[in-house]
Structure formats: C-alpha cells, structure tokens
Amino acid sequence: MPLLASGPGSAGKRADWAAQRSEPAEGRGRMEFAAHAAALSGTSPIGGGERVALPGRCAHPGCRSGWTRLWKNRTTPIFEGGWACSLNCLAARVEASVWRERQGGKEPGMRHRPRIPLGLLMMEQGWITQAQLRRALDAQKTRSGGRIGEWLVRQGAITESHVTRALGLQWSCPVLSTETHPAGNMRAVMPRLFVDAFGAVPLRMVGEGLLYLGFEQRPDPVLALALERMLGVRVECGMVPESDFRAVHARLLDADFPMVDLVEAVGEAPAAKLMARILEKEHPVESRLVRVHDLLWLRLWLRPRLGALPEQGAVRDLVCSIGGSW
C-alpha cells in the first residue's frame, strides 16, 4: 500500500506534510536563538510584538574575531562602557585609555592663576591693619616660615574663621561645614591614598548629583575633575576651617576603605597589560580609568551601581604610577 495516496490533491498533501515536518525544527532554532539573546540583553524573546535586541560586538575597533556576546560565553568584564571578547582586545582598549589619560593635556590651571596674597586680601576686607600684617610677616621671616594666617591667629589679630573666609575669597569657593559628617558613607568615594596625599575630604552627597569636597588650604581642581569623571557627579570644592578639617580628615583615614592595589610600571604598555589582567580576573560589571595628577586610577565596580556612592565591598581600586611618579 502506498504511503501517500495518489490522485488529485496528493501533491498539495505532500507539500503540507513536508511543511509540517520542517516547521518544528526551524521554529525551535528561532526560539533558541531568541531565548539566548534575551538572556544576554534582558529583552523578551518573542511575543507581545517586541523585537529581540542583539547584543553588542567587541568594543575594540581592531578586533578581527567578530565575536558577539550571543555566541561567546562571556559578558564581562566591562571597561568604560564596552565589552571585550578576549584578553588581547581588552588590553588594547586599556592601553588606548592609558595613552589618552597620559596625553590629556595640561591640568586645570587654578593653581597658576595670580591670586591676591592672603594678608592683603584680609587687610582689604578690613579684618587686619597694615601694622598687624607687617608684624606677622616679620615673624614669618625671622622664624623660618609658617603660614601668614597662622601667624595672624597666633598674634591675636584674627580668628581661624577669618582665615578660612579669606581662603574662600582667594580661591573663589565657598566655606563648607563639617557638621554631621558621615565618614562611613564617604570612605568609598576615592582611595585612602588620595585623601591623605592630596589633603581632601569628601563631605557629603546632595541627592545623586552633587558632591562637596573640602580642603584646608586650597582646592585641588585636578582631583575634583577626576572624581566628576569617575563618579558621574558634579563636584563642588570648598574651604574648611583648619581645626575642623584635621578632625574630619583623621576620622576618615581611620575608616575602612575599598580594596586598593598600588602598582608601578615602567611604561604605558606594561601598565595596560597589568590593568587588563586584573580586569580579566575580577570581571567587573563596570570599570573606568582616570588620571589624577601623575597617577592613573582604575576603579572596578564588582556589582551593579545602586547610586553615585559605592557600597562597601562593591568596588576595587588600582592606583598606578608610571616611570617612578610616586
């Protein structure tokens, strides 16, 4: 007996039968493809009229593999918003960023602008007399240095508050308060090394977009710019009275900071390879590289961000010196 009856319409039946045999396998392939894409991109595979979003390719412009996350069992590390398909591609991207930061031009010129000397500024404000300023300058000269504001305070001409207000006028920045300083919340803003070496204290975060950064003598625009780029917030620098600053500074240095690696490299290429190996090992969900004076600061987010300020244990830092800039 023939498997399929012949006669009128038999050709159509055979075509329908063939379509039924081939359709499930083809449909399964489409569904598996869509489900894999959805798992990586977070979109619904099918249904509801939504389109499946294909994952991005390797972010290294010179990559020749053509791998996408869809076919590569690798979704991290993410460096500066891009995924790399291999250690070689990741190292190439990091090296380009190292070169960018090292060749980024001159640092902000706040420290090089001509400023009215602090003593003349206070005299102009009517806080001290010419005789008081002369006496403080003579003491500074004969006793081998010291800040002019300190001498004026020692001689009883002004208070510490006057010195802080004068510094704010000199550097065109506000005077900041340290009341209710949340040392625990501020410890992950930047590495302990920067707090200590650059004399800076992160004071408070307003909402999710403004960080106040306090200084004792003068603001550091280079550090402020690095924090803005790293955290994605606006940084407002200000002066803090000396006694308040030192108390908060000491308390902050005693806090537990995120893990940090301090490394030194002989050149840009070795530094990039070292950073790439750490990125490959930790597989951060986000990471970024910025320059802070002569140092390179790499921050790794080990978990997705929940806000501008990282949680304890959610980040890891690497500070790199190239060619002996420690």
What's the average model confidence in pLDDT over 78-93?
93
**Inside any domain, residue 9:** no
What is the rounded distance in angstroms from the CA atom of residue 144 to the CA atom of residue 252? 32
pLDDT, tens only, 123-137: 999 999 999 999 999
| CATH assignment at residue 214 | 3.30.300
Note whether 248 and 195 are same-domain residues: yes
Total number of domains in the chain: 3
- Can you give the residue range of the structural domain that contains 130? 110-171
Please report the pLDDT score of residue 207 as a whole number: 81
Note whether 246 and 265 are same-domain residues: no
Residue pair 70/36 in contact (Cβ under 8 Å)? The answer is yes
- Residue 145: pLDDT above 60? yes
Note whether 166 and 193 are same-domain residues: no
Burial state string for 83-101 with b = 16 or more CB within 10 A and e = fewer than 16: bbbbeebbbbbbbbbbeeb
Domain boundary (230, 253, 276) is at 253
More confident residue, 179 or 193: 193
**Inside any domain, residue 69:** no
**Inside any domain, residue 160:** yes
Show the tokens assigned to 209.
């977009």
- Residue 36: pLDDT above 70? no
- Residue 68: pLDDT above 70? no
**Inside any domain, residue 13:** no
- Residue 155: pLDDT above 70? yes
Please report the pLDDT score of residue 70 as a whole number: 58
Least confident of 41-50, 56-65, 144-153: 41-50
Please report the pLDDT score of residue 218 as a whole number: 92
C-alpha angle with apex 15: 31 to 21, nearest 5 degrees? 35
**Inside any domain, residue 57:** no
Note whether 188 and 247 are same-domain residues: yes
Note whether 282 and 239 are same-domain residues: no
Per-residue pLDDT band at 309 (split at 50, 70, 90):
confident
**Inside any domain, residue 8:** no
**Inside any domain, residue 66:** no
Please report the pLDDT score of residue 43 as a whole number: 37
- pTM attached to this predicted model: 0.77
Domain boundary (253, 270, 303) is at 253
Note whether 189 and 158 are same-domain residues: no
**Inside any domain, residue 280:** yes
